[in-house]
Amino acid sequence: MKKQALKLTVCVDQIQFDPEDEATKHFNPNTCGFFIYLNANLIKESLPSDGYPNIEMLLEPIILSNSSNVLRIVAKDLSIPEGTDYMQVGCISLPIDYFKNILETQYGQIFTQWITLFDDLDDDEYDGDLGENDEEHPMIRTHIAVSAYNPNPVTPKVTKQVSSTSANKPTTASVTPRNLKINTAAVVALQNAALKSRTSVTPNKLEAMGSPTAMSAIKNMQRRKTIVTESGTKKVVMADIEPEVQEHKEPSIKNRRAQKKA
């Protein structure tokens, strides 16, 4: 018993008749359709309106192990009304062993050939070789391929190659302590302080600082002052700098006498 399931792909896309055969001269090859069966079970239709598509079916091990199973192809002229006795053109049955015995080296290979049709369902077994054309009409052109069925295809993983240079280069993750915690508020404060320290002073600002108005403002700036509170403790407070006032001293008697003599 074959343990591996197989995927069978079948396509029938042409039919030929003998123009001198009275039994088939009323058939139109352009209106013929093909019906694919597994034994007596219809799998799918291959019609000219669909462009004769590929038909795929799964041949499980239980099907492959029974040599009495067949793939049957039935050709019908679709221009003839359904139910008419002469609607059916012909049929052919391919034993399942044809597909089971295909070598693994031939998996995926397409066997294209012309196969002669029979007019009797009870005597339509194919006895030729896959890939070899028949010569008698009517005959159909078939394309058959067998491949291994994999229900769970594995997608290969692509591993990125690391160069020797990048392999020896330390990364951020390798040099940063895992328990490092960043104080966001402290970082912002340091950035603001750095910005203030980098503030440039233009010549206009320097000139303004040397003016009398600026100097007067500097004199009136606040400074730290230590005071003694009622409880006797010392406390540092900010106090305004008072402008210096020159005291007016009266001249002494000696000086006044000297001024009178003068």
CATH number at residue 91: 2.60.40.150
Question: What integer is the mean pLDDT of 111-118?
Answer: 96
For residue 161, being part of any structural domain is answered with no
Is the bond preceding residue 138 a cis peptide, omega within 30 degrees?
Answer: yes
Domain count, the chain: 1
Higher pLDDT, 127 or 85: 127
Could you tell me if residue 134 is inside a domain?
yes
Report pTM.
Answer: 0.58
Confidence of residue 84 (pLDDT cuts 50, 70, 90): confident
- Report whether 93 contacts 70 (CB < 8 A): yes
Q: Of 12, 15, 8, which Cα lies nearest the Cα of 112? A: 12
Q: Which residues form the domain of 39? A: 6-148
Percentage of the chain modeled with pLDDT above 70: 57
Asked whether the predicted pLDDT for residue 30 surpasses 50, the reply is yes
Does the residue 93 lie in any domain? Answer: yes
Whether residue 201 lies inside any domain: the answer is no
* Residue 128 Cα distances to 78, 93, 133, angstroms: 28, 11, 9
The full length of the chain comes to 262
Is there a domain that residue 26 lies in?
yes
Sort strands 6-16 and 139-148 into parallel, antiparallel or unpaired: antiparallel
Average pLDDT estimate for 103-110: 94
Confirm whether 224 is domain-assigned: no
